[in-house]
């Protein structure tokens, strides 16, 4: 449940950045959106397969992100029509950009770091004992 909640939070923040991020420069908004998308993929995989060890989930998330980015080099009418829809654009993207690979890596890394971080309360309780 925690992973699904994290994925949902990433979607909400990502959509907010996408729709209302006008205060951010376009390049920053684009990279931040891609990183959030990658974090959402990482947490989505964890929600579906929590028993898989974190390093393998991270590799899987990064691989999926990379495959989606590389797929943007492929064009045929039905796929391009899907990409022109809102959902298709948000999930499949619209155009290949090599810098997206770095954004995906940053997003998955952020998801891994957040997952490995110890909750503040749990740490405080241990110190109190």
pLDDT value, residue 74: 93
pLDDT value, residue 121: 64
pTM score, two decimals? 0.84
Number of domains into which the chain is organized: 1
Show the tokens assigned to 66: 């990379």
Q: Are 109 and 61 a contacting pair, CB within 8 Å?
A: no
pLDDT value, residue 41: 97
Domain interval for residue 42: 2-128
pLDDT value, residue 3: 93
Closest CA to 45 of 92, 123, 112, 127: 112
Show the tokens assigned to 19: 């729709």
Sequential DSSP letters for 64-120: HHHHHHHHTT---HHHHHHHTSHHHHHHH-SS--THHHHHHHHHHHHHHHHHHSPPH
In sequence order, the 6+-apart residues with CB closer than 8 A to the CB of 87 are none
Count of Cβ atoms closer than 10 Å to residue 125 Cβ: 10
């Amino acid at each position: 449940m925690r992973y699904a909640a994290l994925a949902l939070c990433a979607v909400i923040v990502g959509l907010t950045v996408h729709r209302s991020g006008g205060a951010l420069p376009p390049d920053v908004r684009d990279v931040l959106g891609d990183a959030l998308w990658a974090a959402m993929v990482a947490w989505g995989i964890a929600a579906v397969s929590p028993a898989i060890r974190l390093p393998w989930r991270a590799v899987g998330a990064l691989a999926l992100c990379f495959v989606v980015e590389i797929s943007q080099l492929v064009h045929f009418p039905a796929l391009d029509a899907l990409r022109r829809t809102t959902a298709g654009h948000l999930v499949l993207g619209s155009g290949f950009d090599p810098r997206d690979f770095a954004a995906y890596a940053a997003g998955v890394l952020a998801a891994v770091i957040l997952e490995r971080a110890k909750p503040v309360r749990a740490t405080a309780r241990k110190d109190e004992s």
